[in-house]
Structure formats: C-alpha cells, structure tokens
C-alpha cells in the first residue's frame, strides 16, 4: 500500500511539474509574439537614419558596403537537425546582400532558391519564432524587401548583436556590386 501511495504521489508531482513547465513555456511564447508582431515592436532594433552613416564619404561607404566580406555559403544543407539558431543565422546572412551595416560577417545569396528552401524548412518547423520567421520569408518570397533592414536587425538583436546593426538598405547598384564581389 505504501508503494502505491508513493507512486501516486510521484505521478501527481510530475503532472503538476509538467503542467507548470508547459504553462511557463506557453506564457513566454505568447509574450514573445506580443512583443514582436509588428515593426513597432521591432523598433528596438530599427535601422538608424541614413544620415548616421559611419563613413566619411559616400564613396567610402560604397566601397565598404560592396566589398567581399568572406564567409560565403552557397549550399544551405538544411536537415531535420537544423536548429532555430542556425536558421536565424542563415536568414541573417541572407540580408547582408541588401542592407547597409558597418560590419557584416558571412553571406548567403538572397535568391529565389534559397528563400524557397528556408520557407519550405520553416513550414515544417516548430520553433518559438516560427511565425515571425515565416512572415519574413513570405515577404522575401514575394519580392518585398522594403523592411529588410528591420529584418536584419531582428536577427541581429535575437543573436545578441553588439556590432553591425543595419542602418539602411543598399541601392540596386550597391547590391549588384556586392553580389559581383561576393557570389
């Protein structure tokens, strides 16, 4: 009889612990989604005004923004084991061909193929940031890059970035030169 009572006590304790843990996880996800559903929520990582360029001249800025930044990846190699952190890093590196930032490390082509791969992967995922990542990838899939600097800073902030915050979007000429020099 003592064994049965002990087993029942352990089971009740596990159910309460599991229930409380599930509640806290769902509460954190809800708070995250409430704070990241629109651009105002992302404004903490909003790009700076273009007048705040860290470069002395437009020519220096052009050269810095379009140079070869190294760390190029051409094959995404997404698997069932790909983590949320890894997919955010991939999407972050994809933005580098479109945004102006003082420092950039790594680049992945922002192509129809890579965007489709990311979107297809995200559809099957169950990440805490799935909704935000899907919204961004769908926007990119439709060719909408008007807020790619906000997208970059969303990833940058999520990764704990301290250097390399985006402060604008490259012109088509700058992007073309970046692609030529990096891919």
Residue 151 has a CB neighbour count (10 Å cut-off) of 26
Task: Tell me the average pLDDT across 145-153.
Answer: 97
Question: Is the per-residue pLDDT at 90 higher than 70?
Answer: yes
Between residues 74 and 42, which one has the greater pLDDT?
Answer: 74
Report the alpha-carbon distance of residue 155 to residue 160 in Å, rounded.
9
CA atoms within 13 A on the CB side of 95: 32
Task: Tell me the average pLDDT across 21-32.
Answer: 53
Taking the domains of the chain in order of start, what are their residue ranges? Answer: 1-35, 47-182
Question: Residue 40: its pLDDT value, please?
Answer: 39
Selection from 131, 127, 126, 107 nearest residue 179 by Cα: 107
82: left (phi over 0), alpha (psi -120 to 50) or beta: beta
- Percent share of the chain, pLDDT over 70: 80
Report the alpha-carbon distance of residue 170 to residue 25 in Å, rounded.
39
Task: Tell me the average pLDDT across 65-84.
Answer: 96
pTM of the model: 0.73
Backbone φ and ψ for 58, nearest 5 degrees, come out as -65, -35
Report the alpha-carbon distance of residue 161 to residue 35 in Å, rounded.
18
Q: Determine contact, residues 93/106, Cβ cutoff 8 Å.
A: yes
């Amino acid at each position: 009889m003592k064994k049965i009572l002990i087993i029942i006590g352990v089971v009740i304790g596990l159910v309460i612990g599991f229930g409380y843990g599930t509640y806290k996880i769902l509460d954190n996800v809800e708070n995250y989604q409430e704070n990241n559903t629109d651009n105002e929520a992302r404004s903490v990582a909003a790009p700076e005004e273009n007048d705040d360029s860290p470069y002395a001249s437009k020519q220096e800025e052009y050269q810095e923004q379009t140079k070869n930044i190294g760390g190029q990846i051409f094959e995404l190699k997404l698997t069932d084991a790909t983590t949320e952190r890894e997919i955010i890093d991939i999407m972050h590196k994809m933005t580098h061909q479109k945004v102006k930032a003082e420092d950039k490390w790594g680049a992945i082509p922002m192509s129809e193929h890579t965007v489709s791969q990311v979107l297809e992967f995200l559809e099957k995922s169950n990440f805490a940031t799935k909704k935000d990542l899907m919204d961004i990838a769908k926007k990119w899939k439709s060719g909408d890059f008007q807020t790619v600097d906000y997208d970059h800073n969303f990833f940058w902030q999520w990764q704990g970035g301290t250097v390399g915050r985006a402060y604008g979007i490259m012109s088509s000429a700058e992007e073309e030169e970046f692609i030529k020099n990096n891919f």
